[in-house]
């Protein structure tokens, strides 16, 4: 142990729910609170609790473009959970804590750059907001995000898909069997960031052994190669064997050992809906592991009833997955050159995005403008149907913090041009060098 405590931002939002019987409701962290308080964790010298700050609009708009505007889409709770992630990270940056855990809700990893509503229980992406805050205020460069939620962290992937300085690794239950239906191995980042997105879809029934094989043999070596300034863990807990919304077989010990090995600088809670049988134990396990304390006695009372045998086919699949992904990782530089050559100066993709909580269907066209001198810039054309605002469309240009002057000007010109043609209802320019989101 380094002698510094673990920073803990615990914010269960006991007065906030998506709807009364929604999995994201007041009760979600009640039993976790009970366990944490009963264990005396908040009194230990190895743990220091922090009150979350309230994230500012500028913190959120450094990441998101909300249509029609941010304040109509979010609640105060979102500003608290994003602020909680920032508070946790700042405790580490200021040297007060060795690491921090933002045990907060509502979660964020399904929220993409463009936001029309709430999807996968997420409206704004609290890790992404935290990371961009750290880059702006603390000059952080390379960041690795390891998403250990059972669902693919498609929002985080989307936000960092064109960013070579953010390595995004997500393991999750195979998208063919679970929401949001993405996160396949061929999603590897756009050409300027090729290889910095790594998806590890796992078969239902994967257990601690399978998970730790992939961690030891793939995730940890890749992290060592990437040499990030910070490791962020999107610490969803729904890979647990008792989770009602998924089908994996991970235990509290499996999660605690994961936290112990990963040694994330900052962990941020994501999903996890086995609120009585998993969350109290998984959270205590993660807290103890991150605080450098003995977690060996954190064992679910019902563990004898759990089915945790992993199919041989799963074990074999995982072996192949590791070999395959390692090969891509090792060849990433030459593969990236090929991808850039193939794309020329424009890489384009179309996406359909469903907002399950808001009943919105979005169509998006993303265009990455590739520049030989910088990271280029991005334009997004979006149209959303359904939900509270019925029909919303926008054209958005994003220039990065290190985009060259020409690309920044080109991004602005494109929005201006689009506005003249009046095809969309809203026009936005997100200039991350200036740290502004302008409605044009």
Partner 1 sequence: MWLGIDVGGTFTDAVVIANGEILAQAKAPTTHTDLLSGILAAVDLVMHGMVCSGVERVALSTTIVTNAVVQGKTDTVGLLLLPGPGVNLNKMLPELPITLAGYVDHRGRETSLPDEKEVIKACEQLQDRSALAVVGKFAVRNPRQELQVARWVKEQLPGRHVTAGSSISGALNFWRRTNSAYYNSAVHRHFGEFSTAITTALQQRQITAPVFVLKADGGTLPLVVAEQNPVETIFTGPAASVLGIMAMTAPSGETVSLDVGGTTTDIALWQDGLPLFASRGARINGFPTAVRAFWMRSVGIGGDSFVRWEGEQIKVGPMRLGPAMALGGEYPTVSDALIVAGHVHFGDRAAAMKAMEKLTRNGGSSENTAALVLEAAATIIHQEIDAMILEQAAEPVYKVDDIINGRPIAPELLIGVGGAAPGLAPLVAKIRGIDYQTPPGAMVANAVGAAVARPTTEVTLRADTSQGIYTVAELGLRQKLTKRSLTPTDVRDLARQHLRERAVQSGINFETAEVVYEEEFNLVRGFSTIGKILTCRLQVKPGVLRAICGKEGVL
Residues labelled as active-site residues = 110
Residue 122 contacts residue 79 (beta carbons within 8 Å): no
Question: How many residues would you count in the chain?
Answer: 440
Cα–Cα nearest to 195, from 338, 67, 58: 338
Contact status: 124 vs partner 1 (CB under 8 A): no
Q: Which stretch binds partner 1 (CB under 8 A): 48-56, 157-165, 229-237, 345-353?
A: 48-56
Contact status: 101 vs partner 1 (CB under 8 A): no
Q: Which is closer to partner 1, CB of 14 or CB of 184? A: 14
Instruction: Output the smallest distance, CB 1 to partner 1, in A.
Output: 14
Kindly write out the interface string for residues 199-238 of this chain, putting x where it contacts partner 1 by CB under 8 A and - elsewhere: ----------------------------------------
Q: Which is closer to partner 1, CB of 246 or CB of 298? A: 298
Q: Which stretch binds partner 1 (CB under 8 A): 71-79, 149-157, 169-177, 409-417?
A: 71-79
Rounded distance, CA 312 to CA 205, Å?
Answer: 11
User: Using the rule CB under 8 A, which residue among 4, 18, 25, 308 binds partner 1?
Assistant: 25
Instruction: Output the smallest distance, CB 52 to partner 1, in A.
Output: 7
Dihedral over Cα of 124, 135, 283, 259: its sign: positive
Instruction: Output the smallest distance, CB 167 to partner 1, in A.
Output: 32
Q: Helix crossing, 252-262 with 279-290: angle to 10°?
A: 30
The number of CA neighbours under 13 Å toward the Cβ of 180 is 27
**Residue 416: which H helix or E strand, with range?**
helix 405-421
Rounded distance, CA 210 to CA 416, Å?
Answer: 51
Q: Which stretch binds partner 1 (CB under 8 A): 44-52, 111-119, 317-325, 404-412?
A: 44-52
Q: Which is closer to partner 1, CB of 21 or CB of 341? A: 21
Taking the chain, what is the end-to-end CA distance rounded to the nearest angstrom? 51
Contact status: 281 vs partner 1 (CB under 8 A): yes
Contact status: 15 vs partner 1 (CB under 8 A): yes
Q: Which stretch binds partner 1 (CB under 8 A): 45-53, 154-162, 255-263, 316-324?
A: 45-53
At residue 156, φ and ψ (nearest 5 deg) are -65, -40
Kindly state the tokens that stand for 438. Answer: 């302008």
Residue 196 contacts residue 160 (beta carbons within 8 Å): yes
Q: Which is closer to partner 1, CB of 104 or CB of 378? A: 104
Question: Do strands 346-355 and 360-369 pair parallel, antiparallel, or not at all (unpaired)?
Answer: antiparallel
Quickly tell me which residue has 């922090």 as its tokens: 50
Contact status: 298 vs partner 1 (CB under 8 A): yes
What are the residues binding partner 1 (CB under 8 A)?
A: 9-16, 20-21, 25-27, 30-31, 33-35, 37-41, 43-44, 49-52, 54, 75-77, 80, 244, 276, 280-281, 284, 288, 293-294, 296-302
């Amino acid at each position: 142990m380094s002698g510094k405590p673990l920073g803990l931002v615990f914010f269960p939002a006991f007065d906030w729910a998506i709807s009364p019987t929604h999995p994201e409701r007041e009760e979600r962290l009640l039993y976790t609170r009970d366990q944490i308080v009963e264990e005396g964790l908040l009194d230990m010298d190895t743990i220091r609790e922090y009150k979350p700050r309230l994230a500012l609009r500028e913190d959120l708009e450094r990441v998101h473009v909300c249509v029609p505007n941010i304040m109509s889409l979010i609640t105060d709770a979102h500003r608290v959970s994003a602020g909680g992630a920032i508070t946790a990270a700042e405790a580490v940056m200021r040297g007060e804590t060795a690491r921090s855990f933002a045990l907060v809700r509502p979660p964020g990893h399904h929220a993409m750059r463009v936001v029309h509503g709430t999807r996968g229980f997420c409206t704004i992406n609290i890790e992404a907001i935290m990371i961009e805050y750290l880059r702006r205020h603390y000059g952080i460069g390379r960041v690795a995000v390891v998403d250990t939620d059972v669902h693919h962290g498609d929002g985080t992937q989307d936000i960092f898909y064109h960013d070579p300085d953010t390595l995004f690794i997500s393991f999750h239950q195979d998208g063919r069997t679970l929401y949001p239906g993405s996160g396949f191995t061929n999603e590897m980042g756009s050409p300027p960031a090729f290889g910095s997105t790594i998806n590890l879809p796992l078969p239902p029934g994967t257990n601690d052994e399978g998970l730790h094989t992939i961690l030891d043999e793939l995730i940890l070596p890749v992290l060592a190669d990437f040499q990030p300034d910070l490791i962020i863990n999107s610490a969803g807990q729904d890979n647990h064997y008792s989770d009602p919304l998924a089908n994996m077989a991970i235990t509290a010990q499996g999660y605690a050992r994961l936290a112990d090995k990963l040694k994330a600088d900052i962990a941020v809670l994501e999903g996890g809906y086995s609120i009585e049988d998993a969350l109290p134990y998984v959270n205590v396990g993660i807290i103890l592991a991150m605080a450098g304390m003995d977690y060996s006695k954190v064992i679910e009372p019902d563990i004898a009833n759990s089915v945790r045998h992993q199919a041989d086919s799963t074990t074999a699949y995982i072996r192949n997955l590791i070999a395959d992904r390692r090969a891509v990782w090792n060849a990433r530089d030459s593969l990236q050159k090929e991808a850039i050559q193939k794309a020329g100066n424009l890489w384009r993709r179309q996406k359909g995005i469903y907002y399950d909580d808001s009943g919105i269907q979005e169509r998006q066209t993303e265009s990455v403008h590739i520049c030989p001198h910088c990271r280029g810039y991005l334009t997004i054309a979006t149209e959303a149907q359904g939900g509270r605002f019925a029909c919303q469309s926008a054209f958005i240009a994003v220039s990065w913090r290190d985009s060259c002057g020409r690309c920044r000007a080109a991004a602005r010109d494109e929005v201006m041009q689009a506005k003249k043609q009046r095809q969309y209802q809203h026009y936005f320019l997100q200039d991350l060098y200036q740290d502004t989101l302008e409605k044009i």
